[in-house]
Amino acid sequence: MANTNAQIIIPYIVSQHIEEAGFLWMQRDGAVAAPHYALKDLTKLDGRVEAHIDGLRIAGEPGWELVAEGLEQADAGGIFAAAVLAFEELDSEKMKFVFKTGIAAPELSRGLISALGWIPKDHAAKIIDGMLGAESVAKRRVAIAASAIHRMDPGDALRKALLDEDILLRARSAKAVGELGRHDLSPLLLDNLNLQDEACRFYAAWSGTLLGHGDALRTLQDFAMHGSTYSEKAVNTATRSISQQDAQNWQKELAVNTADLRPAILCAGAMGDPALIPWLIAKMENPDLARVAGEAFMLITGADIAYEDLEKDKPGGFEAGPTDNPEDEDVAMDPDEDLPWPDIKLVSQWWDKRKDQYRGDTRHLMGKPISSEHLQEVIRTGKQRQRAAAALELAMLRPGQVLFEVRARSDIQKKILGM
């Protein structure tokens, strides 16, 4: 009788673990770049993901059979859960099975990459090493991406990938060059600035800027000026790589010559110049710009608009992102959804009381002048976007060093940070 009950209970429990692991992975995928998540919040979320993965481990082979049954209809989150199990066991048949599904589309392969990033570095290396020379281009791309997550240098495989005819592999490899600080690959990297593919050009420009190359910086600024999928990342990186005077001039240029003021506001936040606070506060009058201006204000001053009661309710009638109207063709998500609405009067009062504490013509991040020690502290205690900004700044202080990965599994990050 006990065995019969087990057969009834296990499928239900396993299906719950599969569903929840995939759902929480998707939630985590957004959280790593969210303005309201800190490392401690990521730790809690990672614990929930791991608890469901552990439930699948405990289910053993009967559990794996249920995972495998639904894999071909799975999304990236489901592939992540199945791949963690297969990779941990180093089971060749199971790995072959998850690879078959996971490399079928770039979106699905994100589950494979994340699974390799989830398992311990030494264990992942055993799998990645065998994939770097694979015949399958998709497998090589997964291997390069997973190497970058763990900040493991794939060696000559990265050089070969930068020359590959496959555009997706080439773009991911260009990004890895910057993440890993591979100065030696600069000539090949900069060749990608001339490609027609936007992703290849952008990541060549992004990595080249991290490594201190002027040609790459100019291309990155073009992405910011002329509008692109990558324009916000371009602004955030390019601004941090130029002098304070050049950044001031560029911020003014963005305010005049771009289609909207959002790039100029992002530039102001990345500059960290307290002199721009009054300009940012003025932009909080515009509902379309209020929250991003508030985030730039927080990035410079270190104030927390929500925690310090400097916020207000959402303006009546304001709509951003998808609406319930079936005739509305705008399906883009609200980029500022998780940011607080700043109350201009309260923010102005806060600033008037404290503005003398900030040194003029000095770049600030989270309320203090930029220094190596302060950047390390922001990486430990800041929210995810603030931590990403600090990681970029830290990498640019010493071009060629490895970029800290703020999206990695939280316990891996804590170990690196000595927490």
Query: Beta strand pairing status for 341-342 and 311-312?
Result: antiparallel
At residue 321 the predicted structure's pLDDT band, cuts being 50, 70 and 90, is: low
Would you kindly state where each structural domain of the chain is located, as residue ranges? 1-115, 120-241
pLDDT computed for residue 419 by the predictor:
87
Sign (positive or negative) of CA dihedral 185, 186, 191, 194: positive
Pick the most confident of 2-6, 235-239, 397-401. Answer: 235-239
Q: What share of the chain is helix, strand, coil (3-state, %, to 5)?
A: 70, 0, 30
* 5-18 residue pLDDT tens: 444 457 778 888 98
Percent pLDDT > 90 in the chain is 80
- Count CB atoms within 10 A of the CB of residue 316: 5
* pLDDT tens for each residue of 194-252: 999 999 999 999 999 999 999 999 999 999 988 788 999 999 999 999 999 999 999 99
- Is it the case that residue 4 has pLDDT exceeding 50? no
The stretch 303-327 carries a mean pLDDT of 78
In this structure, are residues 230 and 262 in contact, taking their beta carbons and an 8 Å threshold? no
**Cβ atoms of 208 and 215 closer than 8 Å:** yes
| pLDDT tens, residue by residue, 19-77 | 999 999 999 999 999 999 999 999 999 999 999 999 999 988 888 888 888 887 889 99
Model pTM score: 0.91
Residue 322 predicted with pLDDT over 70: no
Query: What is the predicted pLDDT for the residue at 335?
Result: 87
Q: Which fold has domain 120-241?
A: Leucine-rich Repeat Variant (1.25.10)
pLDDT of residue 324: 45
Residue 176 tokens read as 């890895």
Q: Are 103 and 112 in contact (CB under 8 A)?
A: yes
Q: Which pLDDT tens digit goes with each residue over 147-206?
A: 999 999 999 999 999 999 999 999 999 999 999 999 999 999 999 999 999 999 999 999
| Predicted confidence (pLDDT) at residue 323 exceeds the cutoff of 80 | no
Cα 119 to the center of its chain, rounded Å: 19
Question: Taking a C-beta distance cutoff of 8 angstroms, is the pair 265, 292 a contact?
Answer: yes
Q: Residue 342: in which H helix or E strand, if any?
A: strand 341-342
pLDDT score recorded for residue 6: 45
Helix (H) or strand (E) holding 39: helix 39-69
* Percentage of residues in the chain having pLDDT higher than 70: 95
Q: Which two tokens stand for residue 318?
A: 């304001």
Q: How confident is the model at residue 332 (pLDDT cuts 50, 70, 90)?
A: low
Question: What string of DSSP letters covers 289-300?
Answer: THHHHHHHHHHH
Q: Provide the greatest CA pair distance for the chain.
A: 78
From residue 289, how far is each of 233, 255, 259, 296, 373 by CA, in Å?
Answer: 17, 13, 13, 11, 32
**Whole-number average pLDDT of the chain:** 91
- The pLDDT tens digits for 287-309 are 999 999 999 999 999 999 999 99
Check residue 361 and give its pLDDT.
81
Residue-wise pLDDT tens digits, 94-130: 999 999 999 988 999 999 999 999 999 999 999 999 9
The per-residue pLDDT for 1 is: 40
Amino acid 328: pLDDT:
42
The Cα 382–Cα 379 span in angstroms is 6
Q: What is the dihedral of CA 234, 239, 243, 247, to 10 degrees?
A: 120
The CA distance from 189 to 14, in Å, is: 45
